[in-house]
Amino acid sequence: MQLANFGEDEHDLRLRRVGGTRTYRVGTASPGGVRELEARFLPGRFRLWCSIADHRARGMTATLLVKKA
């Protein structure tokens, strides 16, 4: 998984599978920066969000659907 920051502020990325307990973290990416996370995910729906400041409350969220290979 790769986080590429095309914005003007720092951002990070957190993921949690719906029904899961583990929160995955992709570190903070500076403007123009890229951060990566190597992981194997179980199939399911994941919530993604940025944990910096109030970004999540301001809508910096997404859903990721992981399907069986």
Interface positions with Cu ion (CB under 5 A):
11, 50, 52, 55, 60
Both tokens assigned to 47 = 């919530």
Which is closer to Cu ion, CB of 43 or CB of 59? 59
CB of 46 to Cu ion, least distance (A): 17
**Strands 11-17 and 23-29: what pairing?**
antiparallel
CB of 61 to Cu ion, least distance (A): 10
Which is closer to Cu ion, CB of 1 or CB of 52? 52
Q: How far apart are CA 27 and CA 65, in angstroms?
A: 21
Both tokens assigned to 15 = 């993921």
